[in-house]
Homo-oligomer: A and B are copies of this chain.
Amino acid sequence: MSSLVSGQVVAEHASRDSCWIIVHNKVYDVTDFLDEHPGGSKIILRYAGKDATEAYEPIHPPDAIQNNLPIEKHIGSVDPNTVAKVVKQATEEDKRRQALMDARPPLDEILNLHDFEAVAKAVLPAKAWAYYSSASDDEITIRENRAAFQRIWFRPRVLRDVTSVDWSMTILGCKSSLPIYISATALGKLGHPDGELNLTRAAAKHGVIQMIPTLASCSFDEIVDAAQPGQPLFLQLYVNRDREITKKYVQHAEKRGVKALFITVDAPQLGRREKDMRMKFVDDGAGAKVQEGQKDVKKDQGVARAISSFIDPSLSWKDIPWFRSITNMHIILKGVATPEDAILAYEAGCQGIVLSNHGGRQLDTSRSGVENLIDIVAALKTKGPWPNPNFSIFVDGGVRRASDVLKAIALGASAVGVGRGFLYAFSSYGQEGVERAIQILRDEFEMNMRLLGARTISEVVPEMVDASALRSHAGLTPPDNLYNTIYQPLGLASFKTKL
């Protein structure tokens, strides 16, 4: 990999028979890999003989190609001066989106987290929006996550001196200006060129804790380098089939100062996210018909599955002692849904769990984290004094308002994770968007705590909420849109002529 290759030479390998591409100034021979590419061969062939960095970057972990392509296919470095620049022609769609970007509402007119999502929906490329917003199957759970908070009602107290209210707290020993941490979401560069760094910088400025995702668009070190000295960071971990890779990654994180390890346990396989899968077809044009007998159709997997094939479905409780042996970070299991597993996590010596259904992206019609919270707190209370300073329960999914957070805390959560909320904030306004989101949440916390009669987070108690309707899934259960779209309502007798 020492030779310097000229762009002209690369350009000669521009066909299915011999296909070279340039990524980050390195040349790779991907001819044999074409049919194995989880995202399909078509997208690669578009860059055959050319620089594919721009397309590669937002949807691959930075070192994906290096790690996955056999070393003999690494042709060498390219001489940058010799590479014909790919002039990207702005499409009508690009122009439409740019016009929308220019017409975005001024940031001070953004009043809530929904506004960011509305702007992101308008300005994001369709593929990015599909990847970010999609959830699995009928997308019942993603909507249930939101609806569940609205089935919890407040019982506010009055006539308490709420001149000063304080919603700061400590999360796993780290100071946080909010009872919220930034939860891990993948592929930040799909939304903004700076990707996850938008979060890191805003978090630094406002005293918020960021959880770094395994599937970040920026590399782990880029993110940590962007952090301020002493800025607390957590790490979300997808466990690799190759445990050595995982070990190296975890120990490197600990060395770089990460405080807690959130091991994702609800994703032995990534969910079928149909919006994302359909986007794949749009990208590929009309879609050739699947060949008869082709056994393993990889074409319809969407971004999500394309990037996650390394995740180990064999991960089990037996692995927890091993994690304990390789790191001193707090170990938190992200994606627990039942009292049974909460007890197992507690007994396995973990420091906490996240009640999460992966933002509705995994098992559809799973219950929401905040609903599971009630059973799980009850179960853990049978194990000793509660709250337990050595075991934290976090909740994520569906949060849009500070009031949602306060409801979860009232029911026993230590803190709450917000993922898409911040993702949409930087997708629409970059770092400033994230800062505005934090400011909005601060305003909401101030107002809500005053109106609730709670001066500190510890005064947010179970008596302040009525969660009796939470278990009643009847009312706000999201509808089955696919079924309802197809269902043809009964008609009445027809008049003989239309009048």
A51 contacts partner chain B, Cβ-Cβ < 8 Å: no
Q: Mark A91-106, 1 if CB is under 8 A from B, else 0.
A: 0000010011011111
Given contacts A117-B486, A475-B476, A492-B114, contact A288 B106 (CB under 8 A): yes
Report which of B133, B317, B367 forms a contact with A155, defined as CB distance below 8 A.
B367
Asked if residues A340 and B157 are in contact (CB atoms below 8 Å), the reply is yes
- When distances are taken between beta carbons in the complex, the residues of chain B under 8 Å from A110 are 493
Asked if residues B364 and A403 are in contact (CB atoms below 8 Å), the reply is yes
- When distances are taken between beta carbons in the complex, the residues of chain B under 8 Å from A492 are 114-115, 118, 482, 485-486
Question: A153: nearest residue on chain B (CB-CB)?
Answer: B367
Asked if residues B272 and A499 are in contact (CB atoms below 8 Å), the reply is no
Asked if residues B278 and A109 are in contact (CB atoms below 8 Å), the reply is yes
Asked if residues B476 and A476 are in contact (CB atoms below 8 Å), the reply is no
A79 contacts partner chain B, Cβ-Cβ < 8 Å: no
Given contacts A162-B314, A366-B156, A475-B475, contact A290 B401 (CB under 8 A): no
Question: A498: nearest residue on chain B (CB-CB)?
Answer: B103
A108 contacts partner chain B, Cβ-Cβ < 8 Å: yes
Asked if residues B133 and A140 are in contact (CB atoms below 8 Å), the reply is no
- When distances are taken between beta carbons in the complex, the residues of chain B under 8 Å from A119 are 493
Given contacts A154-B367, A364-B403, A483-B146, contact A300 B447 (CB under 8 A): no
Given contacts A138-B490, A479-B476, contact A122 B495 (CB under 8 A): yes
Asked if residues A493 and B154 are in contact (CB atoms below 8 Å), the reply is no
Asked if residues B163 and A314 are in contact (CB atoms below 8 Å), the reply is yes
A86 contacts partner chain B, Cβ-Cβ < 8 Å: no
Q: Is the interface of A mostly helix, strand, loop or mixed?
A: loop
- When distances are taken between beta carbons in the complex, the residues of chain B under 8 Å from A317 are 159-160
- When distances are taken between beta carbons in the complex, the residues of chain B under 8 Å from A469 are 471-474, 477
Asked if residues A403 and B365 are in contact (CB atoms below 8 Å), the reply is yes
Asked if residues B482 and A450 are in contact (CB atoms below 8 Å), the reply is no
A466 contacts partner chain B, Cβ-Cβ < 8 Å: yes
A448 contacts partner chain B, Cβ-Cβ < 8 Å: yes
Which of A66-74, A177-185, A188-196, A331-339 is the contact stretch? A331-339
Expressed in whole angstroms, the minimum distance between the Cβ of A83 and any Cβ of chain B is 35
Given contacts A469-B472, A472-B469, contact A341 B159 (CB under 8 A): yes
Asked if residues B159 and A115 are in contact (CB atoms below 8 Å), the reply is no
Question: A269: nearest residue on chain B (CB-CB)?
Answer: B450
Asked if residues A481 and B474 are in contact (CB atoms below 8 Å), the reply is no
Report which of B111, B341, B444, B499 forms a contact with A99, defined as CB distance below 8 A.
B499
Given contacts A265-B158, A316-B159, contact A496 B451 (CB under 8 A): no
- When distances are taken between beta carbons in the complex, the residues of chain B under 8 Å from A271 are 447, 451
Question: A471: nearest residue on chain B (CB-CB)?
Answer: B468
A299 to B106, CA, bound (A): 12
A277 contacts partner chain B, Cβ-Cβ < 8 Å: yes
Question: A292: nearest residue on chain B (CB-CB)?
Answer: B432
- When distances are taken between beta carbons in the complex, the residues of chain B under 8 Å from A114 are 482-483, 486, 492
Report which of B266, B300, B497 forms a contact with A158, defined as CB distance below 8 A.
B266
In the complex, given contacts A109-B287, A111-B278, what are 15 additional A-B residue pairs having Cβ atoms less than 8 angstroms apart?
A103-B495, A103-B499, A106-B290, A108-B281, A108-B290, A117-B486, A138-B150, A143-B487, A156-B266, A156-B366, A158-B336, A160-B317, A161-B318, A278-B491, A473-B474
Q: 17 A-B Cβ contacts within 8 A?
A: A105-B494, A112-B274, A114-B486, A146-B483, A154-B365, A155-B337, A155-B367, A156-B363, A158-B266, A159-B344, A268-B450, A268-B451, A275-B488, A473-B475, A481-B489, A482-B492, A485-B489
Interface of A with B (CB < 8 Å)? 96, 99-100, 102-112, 114-115, 117-119, 121-122, 133, 137-140, 143, 146-147, 150-163, 265-269, 271-272, 274-275, 277-278, 281, 286-290, 292, 297, 299-300, 313-320, 333, 335-338, 340-341, 344, 362-367, 400-401, 403, 432, 439, 443-444, 446-448, 450-452, 463, 466, 468-469, 471-477, 479-483, 485-497, 499
